[in-house]
Structure 1
Amino acid sequence: MAELSDGRGVLYPAALPTFHRIPAPADLQELIRWFWIPRWNLARGRTSRQQLLPFPASNLVVEPSGVVLSGPTTGASHRDLQGRGWAVGALLRPAGIASLLPDPQSIRDIARPFEAPDLHRAIVAAMDDDDEAAAREHAVRAYTDWAETHLSPPDEGGLLANAIEELISSDRTIVRADQVAEHVALSTRAVQRLMQRYVGLPPLTVIRRYRLQEAAQRLRENPSLTIAQVAADLGYADHAHLSSDFRHILGLAPNAYRHDSGGIR
């Protein structure tokens, strides 16, 4: 499972506001990967653009204005922060989104309001604490209480989808859906059905998202690596395929990203 320190989805870490990840308790770990809590307090007229390459998963997010269910994405995303604010989100595992929505494909690349007034009230009250550490602790406790009441225990399909997603996330040699199928002793078609049902994305899209996240992380954190080395390490046919993915998803070449993110060409 991805660690709390996993920075793969953050394209420009230096631009992050105050940001914390808190693990889900043991009884929720098959449903929620972690809770995440950003806070920001920007000077008047200042805007901070947060650019992300999100994990291939859904999030249930509480903000002062309400609760939003954000689906899995097929591209990069950004949000412009202004003024003062916060959010408390739960990164849902495949079994977790399945307990809230029978068809996660229906929210692919979109976010929609989610009716959870009791969750919203509890989180807003928690985050009103002037002690930020205490506020985070109270917010996670309130979110945990809500999740334990409202999320269904994972079924067999959800647990299998969790295992597939974890395999793809952690094994850099996985570059094709048939490799996943072989690891879990299922047909490729069965793996495709599971991922569509419990993630909302085809397995190849999930694979490519994790590999592209890893490529971006390596480029910004290790200036000594060439584009060709990164491509080879992550199973790309050649550096041209990696460059094509970068341009298609992020809108810029790998070297341009390395330069913009603070790395060295």
Structure 2
Amino acid sequence: MVNPTRGVLYPARLPQFHRLPPPSAVTELVEWFWIPEWDIEPGRSSRQEIVAYPALNLVVDTDAVTLSGATTRASHRDLRGNGWAVGALLRPAAVAALIDDPASLVDGERVLDDAGVTELRDAVTFAMGSGEGRRERAVEAFAHWLEGRASSAGEPARQANAVMDVLMGDGAALTPEEAATRLAVSVRTLQRMTHRHVGLSPAAMIRRRRLQEAAHRLRENPAVDLASIAAELGYADHAHLTRDFQAVLGIAPRTYRSQASS
């Protein structure tokens, strides 16, 4: 399981937050489930800033079921009052069952409202209101629904999971060319696969992973040298890392390091 704060820019500001592994029946469909819960005093809010994974998320809360696209920039949500959400970080094999054109959702989201989705919301809402073990029961209900919805995912969709593993997993490729070589496909084929199942280019996915990792290292080890991080993550130099960090996150690495560790 990936570090539960990876992708969260300021973990100290989090409400209760849990990442749960997917049940075995949906490991090809879901990377992990995530559940925030919050209870914020009246008149106040909690801003959660995220550099999200380059993937789609299916999210259930008390009001709606929302499909959120991959993002190209840092994002935030302001939490108020009390509430919860249960989200699934989707693997490519699940995407085709939910949307025909994930590129149309990049940096956006869509409320789903068909009858089957209403059943999902009702089942998860019931589980989250049932006391001890509610998170695990909510994940089981979510997984059961998703297994039925995406059971028809074809072999091309499942092959796209291998692309995600090469671009985002342990020992991930540093360039699209390296990823294509590992997968024994052309760069053009790799581009078509990520566009079809994520909505982003391979280069954009690699960029997002590198920025997540850079933020994580800066936060966990304030003394680490920027040049060392840049070299390990495949940047030409620390100036290249700084430009990328500033362009996507809107803040310089050194400034982020001082804020995240304060």
Q: 254-263 or 168-177: which moved more? A: 168-177
| 2:70–2:198 Cα contact (<8 Å) kept | yes
Partner Cα distance (2:103, 2:165) in 1: 19
What's the CA shift for 1:174?
Answer: 2.2
With over 3 angstroms needed to count, the CA separation of the structure-2 counterparts of 1:222 and 1:153, relative to structure 1, is farther
Give the one of 33, 48, 64 matched to 1:66: 64
* Matching of residues 1-265 of structure 1 within 5 Å: 3-115=1-113, 116-129=117-130, 131=131, 133-172=132-171, 174-262=173-261
TM-score, length of structure 1 as denominator length: 0.94
| Paired AA for residue 124 in structure 1 | T
What's the CA shift for 1:175?
Answer: 2.3
| 2:39–2:82 Cα contact (<8 Å) kept | yes
What's the CA shift for 1:153?
Answer: 4.3
Partner Cα distance (1:250, 1:147) in 2: 32
| 2:222–2:261 Cα contact (<8 Å) kept | no
TM-score, length of structure 2 as denominator length: 0.95
Structure 1 runs of 4+ off > 3 angstroms? none
Partner Cα distance (2:172, 2:229) in 1: 13
| 2:56–2:90 Cα contact (<8 Å) kept | yes
Partner Cα distance (2:105, 2:77) in 1: 18
Partner Cα distance (2:4, 2:137) in 1: 24
Partner Cα distance (2:244, 2:260) in 1: 17
What's the CA shift for 1:170?
Answer: 2.7
With over 3 angstroms needed to count, the CA separation of the structure-2 counterparts of 1:148 and 1:167, relative to structure 1, is same
| 2:30–2:90 Cα contact (<8 Å) kept | yes
**In structure 1, the residue corresponding to 2:65 is in which secondary structure?**
strand
| Paired AA for residue 94 in structure 1 | P
With over 3 angstroms needed to count, the CA separation of the structure-2 counterparts of 1:173 and 1:58, relative to structure 1, is closer
Partner Cα distance (1:92, 1:178) in 2: 25
Partner Cα distance (1:127, 1:207) in 2: 35
**In structure 1, the residue corresponding to 2:200 is in which secondary structure?**
coil
Identity of aligned residues (%): 49
Partner Cα distance (2:22, 2:118) in 1: 21
Partner Cα distance (1:89, 1:171) in 2: 23
Q: 16-25 or 137-146: which moved more? A: 137-146
